[in-house]
Structure 1
């Protein structure tokens, strides 16, 4: 009988291993729901990781939905409509300030600079920030990262956004490009690909990058509820590992290869425009090359929020950032 047991033992182990392998196969991967705040070439490493099959390699069937707004993204996460949210890190502070029983924890960074550009209606041979004084500036939503970073950069250049220009913030995020195209504003703060499209079509002219001016900040991050980190930490680790593969791939590939890989996520945008945008973001270091969120970037975020009058309270780095997962994966 002992001999028979030893004969069956290798077979039993093989069957267990096959079972584990199948549980992470394409047919039975763990479903993970991710809500992104918007669809943007700014998030190229995520789409690259999806297109390259890195999430499947980690046993994840990723379901990506676009919420079109920070408030809607957080509602999806907090109401269990999503397992993970991709949104600005400032939203985790807003939730924490409301004494949430299950706070939202930032565990992986995707972008590390602002992703907007200053677009002027009229061409200029040499742009100076003082040119904005007295102009009508079509800004972003009050309390969001684009607007807070925009105001931070303006103040760095000696411009009071409330006194030195006519700041417009009443237009919904999705309607800002069309408002500028129809004649509203002398300057506008735009994400890509709208900025490049406007420039290519002669509707505007990119004169400055808010990302280059603002410094490192956890602009767009992946976050989840504290309870999810407690109950399904292993899934979050696998998700972060897949993301890291995508980040490394994007850092190593030329813009045209990246664009060809992710263009299916942008059906209405020509591949040459996607290439232009990717190149612009890569050149200014917007894409994080690993998921680690630094304490310095976290402090910079709160400095920017405080200067804009939007910081409800200061929150320690360790309170809302889980750096251990990213550290272990990068190492």
Structure 2
């Protein structure tokens, strides 16, 4: 009789546990629409966060869309086609200068150097920057960070971009590599993995890094409308927490291991090339492990913009940068 009673009580207890689990409210999965300015190995920590499920661990369903260009990315953010954008910090300054009532706030930094490389059509046994004088240089889109950093570095080496060489800036971002491959220009400014692929195929040769030459700058950051951050601060914090975890994982692992994780986002690139590119970015300190956009970095950004004649107005750091969320996450 006692045995039957025990079995009966156990069954009731099991039923109550199942009932409680079924009736307990599940944590709501929050969807986040993320727009990236381009698809690049430069953004490796972002793909690590996606591939390793760090966003899902935080209860986020992140939908990634590549918008191909700073203007298109900002349009997506302003029109609510995207909740969060990964793009150059200069775009937030452009929007602010146009009198936006809902400013775009930089809340987490992904990369802290330029991500482009100078590629020569001819192999150089010993490269000197003055070799660009008199050449045709296929640069990046006018007004974007790659173009501004490119001109900043040229001037640093006493090359006047609009006088000492033929500077081409009227080719759409997505077509720059193809234009060089088809014969346009003696030199070109390219992101990875395109630069390394060109070198492997004999289409060009990497001779210098704009990231090493320009120093630290908030090159690509995650940003959102001020109103979105206020209404969804918990979501943004979860988003940052997943990214911070990815940044730490990238810092601790080899290029080979990281390449295996992110390869699904670069199906046209082989593992060997991806590993080389990731190590190159790691070695020059491109990935912002701490993710905090500093005042010094913000000032360097505006100095580069001013030097390029693209700064519409000086904007105070506190107006367009929010570091509170990143700092909270890093203290955990």
The whole-number CA distance in structure 2 between the counterparts of 1:273 and 1:51 is: 19
CA-to-partner distance for each residue in 1:282-320, whole Å, 9 max, x for gaps?
111111112211111010000000000000000011000
Cross-structure match for 2:96: 96
Does residue 128 of the first structure (1) align with residue 128 of the second (2)? yes
Measured after TM superposition, the shift of residue 151 of structure 1 is: 0.3
Seen in structure 2, the aligned counterparts of structure 1 residues 182 and 156 have a Cα distance that, compared at 3 Å, is same
Q: Which has the larger radius of gyration?
A: 2
Seen in structure 2, the aligned counterparts of structure 1 residues 103 and 182 have a Cα distance that, compared at 3 Å, is same
Q: How high is the TM-score relative to the length of structure 2?
A: 0.92
The whole-number CA distance in structure 1 between the counterparts of 2:20 and 2:199 is: 59
Matched position secondary structure for 2:242: helix
Measured after TM superposition, the shift of residue 259 of structure 1 is: 0.2
What is the count of residue pairs matched by the alignment? 315
The whole-number CA distance in structure 2 between the counterparts of 1:18 and 1:136 is: 68
Cross-structure match for 1:73: 73
Does residue 272 of the first structure (1) align with residue 272 of the second (2)? yes
Cross-structure match for 1:5: none
The equivalences for 1:194-213 within 5 A come to 194-213=194-213
CA-to-partner distance for each residue in 1:172-192, whole Å, 9 max, x for gaps?
111111111111111100111
Cross-structure match for 2:283: 283
The whole-number CA distance in structure 1 between the counterparts of 2:190 and 2:100 is: 33
Cross-structure match for 2:154: 154
Does residue 115 of the first structure (1) align with residue 115 of the second (2)? yes
Cross-structure match for 2:244: 244
Runs (5+) with no aligned partner, structure 2: 1-15
The whole-number CA distance in structure 2 between the counterparts of 1:31 and 1:86 is: 17
Cross-structure match for 1:193: 193
Matched position secondary structure for 1:73: helix
Seen in structure 2, the aligned counterparts of structure 1 residues 319 and 38 have a Cα distance that, compared at 3 Å, is same
CA-to-partner distance for each residue in 1:210-250, whole Å, 9 max, x for gaps?
00000000000000000011111111111001110000000
The whole-number CA distance in structure 2 between the counterparts of 1:90 and 1:103 is: 13
Once superposed, which parts of structure 1, at least 4 consecutive aligned residues long, lie more than 3 Å away? 14-20
CA-to-partner distance for each residue in 1:132-184, whole Å, 9 max, x for gaps?
01110000000000000000000111111011110001111111111111111
Cross-structure match for 2:257: 257
Does residue 215 of the first structure (1) align with residue 219 of the second (2)? no
The whole-number CA distance in structure 2 between the counterparts of 1:68 and 1:175 is: 11
Measured after TM superposition, the shift of residue 19 of structure 1 is: 3.8
Q: How high is the TM-score relative to the length of structure 1?
A: 0.93
Seen in structure 2, the aligned counterparts of structure 1 residues 18 and 260 have a Cα distance that, compared at 3 Å, is farther
The equivalences for 1:5-20 within 5 A come to 19=24
Does residue 49 of the first structure (1) align with residue 57 of the second (2)? no
CA-to-partner distance for each residue in 1:21-71, whole Å, 9 max, x for gaps?
x315xxxx1101100011111000000011111101111011001101111
The whole-number CA distance in structure 1 between the counterparts of 2:123 and 2:232 is: 53
Measured after TM superposition, the shift of residue 268 of structure 1 is: 1.3
Cross-structure match for 1:292: 292
